[in-house]
Structure 1
Amino acid sequence: MLDTIADRLVVPGYSKWGHRLRKRNWSDPEPDALRGATAVVTGASSGIGKAAAAGLARLGAEVVLAVRDGRKGEAARAEIVAAVPGATVLVRHCDLSDLDSVRRFAAETDRLDVLVHNAGVLPQERTVTADGHELTFATHVLGPLLLTDLLRPLLVASPDPRVVFVSSGGMYTQRLRADDPEYREGTYRGATAYARTKRMQVALVPLLTERYASDGIAVHGMHPGWADTPGVSGSLPGFHKLTRTFLRTAEEGADTIVWLAATSPRGGGFWHDRRERPAHVLPGTAEQPEDVAAFWRYCTEAAGLR
């Protein structure tokens, strides 16, 4: 009951207090839970992505940091290896907003058990990628969708394949905008674009769960709560200044990512702090079947899925 109340009140549940309240009832995965597994984490050069990569490495996984900036990726790799002696950590270029970059990364990948979609952007003005798509939509939706589908054969070959979409609690404020997925209408706001596309990620989870049902691929969505990361301080300085005294650490934000990867509960759910949560809490945000169908048609065509 306390957990649910904290979740609905937002601040108690999303802050460091919520994590510390809940963790008293948790048990950690086995120390070698991911021994022999290969994990790819996108956007792993800092913040929650880097913390998730370190957590996966601690459990024995070989971790690939899929990053846009190789220099930052190498710095993150050095930090992880220093913190987890003996860890195998690789750095490879992948820009989720560039579909050709996604295709190259997938073509060069030869093994995969865990795929974590963490890469994120929050532009201050509407930006169009080389493929002609709005930047947050390309980075959070089209790139991850294409990458997952291209890596599907490798995931099928894994004994326990898992895909984790790192969404945001901000998605609760938005409905699925199947009518305007590229944010062409109205005044563009970066924070709104971010929340909209994070809602889209949550909408993808049941769709991909159904698509991969016969393959045994568990697809999860989650949100990390409010964590003190370079992305938050750089993109939302006002929010960071207001909330920094009770923000979580990046490691606390990444905990559920690592837990999902290590324990592999049933797919199709949306998680926060190791518990499945409702995908909607505000009136008027629930998806209608026709909107989901239109969204899926648009995404699969834009990403070039068969």
Structure 2
Amino acid sequence: MTAPLPVRAIDTAMDRSLVLGYTTIGLRVRRALPGWPADPRPGALAGKDVLVTGASSGLGIATVEGLAALGATVHLVVRDEVKGTRVRDEIAARQPGSTLRVWRCDVGDLDDVRRFAADLGRELPAIHAVVHNAGLMPPERTESAQGHELSMAVHVLGPVVMTEALRPQLAGGRVVLVSSGGLYSQTLRADDPEYRKGDYSPTTAYARSKRMQVEMLPLLADRWSLDGINASAMHPGWADTPGVQESLPLFRSITRPVLRDDAQGADTSVWLVGSEPAPPAGRFWHDRRARPIDIVPSTRASQDARTAAWAWLAQAAGL
């Protein structure tokens, strides 16, 4: 259902205001307006396997719960297996009858990603979806096992390598990249994807990696569409996640009364995985609607920058 023009105008105005669009206010208002996209039907994911990375905290837990409530067998992909097992047991206690499994994988370590994908691929013949939710914001520049800047490794390279390795199992399925509205503050730095120049800023590194995600999304979506894979990105708005609590304490102290809870932040991820028909691929979503990837002209990437960024990604991820 397409929303009426006045509703779309209200929605866009809230989106550009940030405070109204990204907080719990925005989601509640949008849900009440005509044209809000329908929830996935009950049992929409029954008999289907779905992976969620970064599944042991915050948005990851809420995403697992939302997918399990639709009947999916949810695979919690975590770096800390002990913590992941505890979270699985807690979710199972809240949702009796859900089917949950824990897998260990360090998404920032590309060798470990390939090892995990091989193990998983031998066991699962088909995967309905992967939600690439794992994230971090290291306080200082840190490198992965392969020597890549860690934010870029976890948010871009790991998800791409995992999806590539699982393409046979994901044929006809879906991929969701969990991004961030913080990308609007940065342009595509194809000249310095590993953040080797200038003084390192955790928030800038995080936003740059999220910018890389959405700039590369159309190219990745085209590539994976050859296997019938529907790839999208989304951002959760301002949610009161552990990452915000630990890395942005001042921001949280100011915005806490209107921050979204984890379930509100995960809503669009669950919708992208469970809705039928699948939403259009290659788009950037927030609150169940496609959004622009640029708000101000200064962040708009040139075609040369995208070409250079793709060349870096192809080499670093071994495409």
Tell me which interval the TM-score lies in, with the shorter structure as reference length.
over 0.9
Q: 1:274 aligns with which of 268, 288, 307?
A: 288
Give yes or no for the alignment of 1:76 onto 2:87: yes
Cα shift at 1:282: 1.4
Give yes or no for the alignment of 1:177 onto 2:189: yes
Q: Determine helix, strand or coil for the equivalent of 1:196.
A: helix
TM superposition outliers: structure 1 runs of 4+ over 6 Å: none
TM-superposition CA deviations, 1:234-260 (whole Å, max 9, x none) = 111111111111100000000000000
TM-superposition CA deviations, 1:209-243 (whole Å, max 9, x none) = 11122221110010000001111101111111111
Could you tell me which amino acid in structure 2 is paired with residue 61 of structure 1? A
Partner of 1:240: 252
Partner of 2:215: 203
Could you tell me which amino acid in structure 1 is paired with residue 314 of structure 2? T
Give yes or no for the alignment of 1:6 onto 2:14: yes
Partner of 1:108: 119
Q: Determine helix, strand or coil for the equivalent of 2:285.
A: strand
In the aligned structure 2, how far is the partner of 1:61 from the partner of 1:277? 28
In the aligned structure 1, how far is the partner of 2:19 from the partner of 2:137? 22
Q: Determine helix, strand or coil for the equivalent of 1:211.
A: helix
**What is the aligned-residue RMSD (CA, Å)?**
1.0
TM-superposition CA deviations, 1:179-223 (whole Å, max 9, x none) = 000000011000000000011111121011111222211100100
In the aligned structure 2, how far is the partner of 1:153 from the partner of 1:288? 33
Partner of 2:61: 50
Could you tell me which amino acid in structure 1 is paired with residue 300 of structure 2? A
Partner of 1:292: 306
Please say if residues 173 and 282 of structure 1, whose CA atoms lie closer than 8 Å, have aligned partners that are also in contact: no
Could you tell me which amino acid in structure 2 is paired with residue 183 of structure 1? Y
Number of residue pairs aligned between Structure 1 and Structure 2: 302
Partner of 2:157: 142
| TM, length-normalised to structure 2 | 0.93
In the aligned structure 2, how far is the partner of 1:255 from the partner of 1:66? 19
In the aligned structure 1, how far is the partner of 2:216 from the partner of 2:134? 16
Partner of 1:119: 134
In the aligned structure 2, how far is the partner of 1:114 from the partner of 1:214? 16
Cα shift at 1:285: 1.2
Partner of 2:297: 283
In the aligned structure 2, how far is the partner of 1:245 from the partner of 1:303? 40
Give unpaired runs (5+ residues) of structure 1: none
Partner of 1:90: 101
Please say if residues 216 and 306 of structure 2, whose CA atoms lie closer than 8 Å, have aligned partners that are also in contact: no
